[in-house]
Amino acid sequence: METIKYRNYILRNYADLPQMSSLSQEEQEAIKIVGQVLPFKANNYVVEQLIDWNNVPNDPIYTLTFPRKEMLSKKNYNDVKSYLEKGDEAALKQKVFDIRMKLNPNPAGQEKNIPMVDGIKLHGMQHKYRETVLFFPSQGQTCHAYCTFCFRWPQFSGMNELKFAMKEADLLQRYLLKHPKVTDVLFTGGDPLTAKTSIMAAYIEPLLTKEFDHIRNIRIGTKTLAYWPYRFLTDKDADDLLRLFEKVKKAGKHLAFQSHFNHPVELSTDAVKQAISRIQNTGAQIRTQSPLLRHINDDAKIWADMWKEQVRQGLIPYYMFVARDTGSKEFFDVPLEKAWNIFRKAYSNVSGVCRTVRGPSMSASPGKVQILGVTEVSGEKVFVLRFLQCRNPKLIDIPFFAKYDKKATWFDELKPAFGEKEFFFEKDNLLRKNGRDTDFIWE
């Protein structure tokens, strides 16, 4: 296969794209203005093979990667625009910082889940659920292109205090040796597969030794299949990466991809199909996940088509998420009841092999909360919910109720049903130990 060279498009050079002529002056201006606040990066694969330029700006992949005017409030848009026009760099920088801080750059109390080893805080890791440690390799804190909805954006835009990154594989290993209940290490970012294979090998290979018998699943959360499938085909160290996956399998462990696909078009190119089959040939399995996003995939048919196509290519549908309460949420959000209706309709239109997917799920501070449905109990309309994951494993899978709220788009807008003051998990310190919510409840 012919080698395709990676080229990226950012604020400095996007205007050179011949495809820009498909956009109005106003749409082009929006990229520059909104792009000051939300990080912007696209690449030649996304631009040439995924976006349908006859359908911009409404094309789902255009909306997923290119900033649009509606992603900022009118006021913020006009403020940024006027500072840009004045050319006052310092004031612009301050304004952009202020807007970003108001966009809730670090949602769901992630700072609470930072583990410690030998008195050292491990800022490149998160340990929220007993079995699974998240690890953020510092070399993987970028992506092949950026999603406009993404809550990880402070990591890409130089807000260093918020950057969860850690250099030493050594600290990860020390931590895992002290936590025998951990079975999964989930490499995440950014996108860890923006790092070179040699870097990933330095993190993964030590975990294949006998000492780490308790680590059964090496998981990689990545959007690379959708944004740059050549990582597995023709990039210089593509073959080495596949050999690394094989080594994991040979060591008796499961290499699990947690792959982000937001729209069926991302599964349609020759390159992605070949990349999927090369990964599968190593014995790795690919699970898929995506948030539900207005303007991109808020339609049951899109999800049903996506799950069906994934299963046809041997992928395992895994999670449908509710868009998080951060960034340009107002542009992308879908009310919870509508989210459930889209999920239900899509779920009922696919066969059982696609129904491995769970959702819609909200990654909130106590855990991953699934919306099981809207129903009536003793004359009161309620949401039925359950934890798919929880800081306290004893609370998983117990149904609970929230007062119905037509407009609610996120968990923290919900109130307990039946006039109760607290949700069941808020009682009796169920999420706290020693009165602190920083301690792991299961220890």
- Footprint of ligand SF4 (CB under 6 A): 143, 146-147, 150, 152, 189-191, 223, 260
Using rule CB under 6 A, residue 134 touches ligand PLP: yes
Give one word for 299, left, alpha or beta, with left for phi > 0 and alpha for psi -120 to 50. Answer: beta
**DSSP codes joined into one string, 174-188:** HHHHH-TT--EEEE-
Q: How far is CA 406 from the centre of its chain?
A: 26
In the complex, least distance from residue 75 CB atom to ligand PLP, rounded to whole angstroms: 32
Among 76, 126, 148, 157, binds ligand PLP (CB under 6 A): 126
CB 59 within 8 A of CB 53: yes
Q: Which is nearer to ligand SF4, 65 or 173 (CB)?
A: 65
Residue type, 109: G
The entry of ligand SF4, ligand PLP, none near residue 190 (CB within 5 to 8 angstroms by kind) is: ligand SF4
Contact string (CB under 6 A) for ligand PLP, positions 176-195, x = contact: ----------x---------
The entry of ligand PLP, ligand SF4, none near residue 402 (CB within 5 to 8 angstroms by kind) is: none
The helix-helix angle for 169-178 and 197-204 (nearest 10°) equals: 30
Q: Which is nearer to ligand SF4, 223 or 253 (CB)?
A: 223
Using rule CB under 6 A, residue 128 touches ligand PLP: yes
Using rule CB under 6 A, residue 326 touches ligand PLP: no
Contact string (CB under 6 A) for ligand PLP, positions 363-402, x = contact: x----x--------------------x-------------
Place of tokens 């407009």: 407
Q: How far is CA 236 from the centre of its chain?
A: 26
The entry of ligand SF4, ligand PLP, none near residue 189 (CB within 5 to 8 angstroms by kind) is: ligand SF4
CB 406 within 8 A of CB 374: no
**DSSP codes joined into one string, 338-377:** HHHHHHHHHHTTS-GGGTT-EEEEEE-SSEEEEEEEEEEE
In the complex, least distance from residue 389 CB atom to ligand PLP, rounded to whole angstroms: 5
The secondary structure of residue 137, as a DSSP letter, is B
Using rule CB under 6 A, residue 132 touches ligand PLP: yes
For residues 247 and 236, what is the distance between their CA atoms, to the nearest angstrom?
Answer: 19
Which chain residues interact with ligand PLP by CB under 6 A? 126, 128-129, 132, 134, 186, 363, 368, 389
